């Protein structure tokens, strides 16, 4: 079984059915993804990209999604160190990197620039790796 940390954009694509996750993969994310996803859906509604009903439906799908949410003290401390090492303005993105280091085979992101910045830090893959 492969373990993948997924970011908010990847989760949104999974929720909309853009790609189906193979049963042999386990998805992980830091607990902060709940708030990030809620905010992303809210903003999509505000921008007129979906209705409020659609946004809330996707949020409900996330609650039923097969994904382990983690965020223990060890991960948070590592996220702090990684944010400092990577020169980040906050620890949010570093939580995904820390979780990948501690629990996963790779970090799945659609952000190619972020993936380039993480070369040599953690393994990154595109969303197609989940199929």
Q: Which CATH class is domain 2-130?
A: alpha beta
User: At a CB cut-off of 8 Å and minimum separation 6, what does 86 contact?
Assistant: 94, 97, 117, 121
pLDDT in tens, 14-35: 999 999 999 999 999 999 999 9
pLDDT in tens, 64-75: 999 999 999 999
The values of phi and psi at residue 3, to 5°, are -115, 125
What pLDDT does residue 6 have? 98
């Amino acid at each position: 079984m492969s373990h993948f940390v997924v970011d908010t954009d990847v989760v949104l694509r999974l929720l909309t059915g853009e790609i189906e996750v193979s049963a042999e993969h386990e998805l992980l994310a830091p607990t902060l993804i709940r708030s990030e996803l809620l905010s992303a859906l809210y903003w999509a509604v505000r921008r007129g990209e979906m209705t409020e009903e659609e946004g809330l439906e996707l949020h409900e799908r996330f609650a039923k999604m097969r994904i382990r949410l983690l965020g223990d003290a060890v991960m948070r401390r590592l996220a702090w160190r990684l944010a400092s090492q990577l020169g980040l303005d906050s620890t949010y993105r570093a939580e995904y990197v820390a979780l990948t280091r501690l629990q996963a085979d790779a970090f799945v992101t659609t952000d190619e620039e972020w993936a380039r910045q993480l070369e040599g830090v953690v393994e990154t893959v595109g969303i197609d790796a989940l199929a």
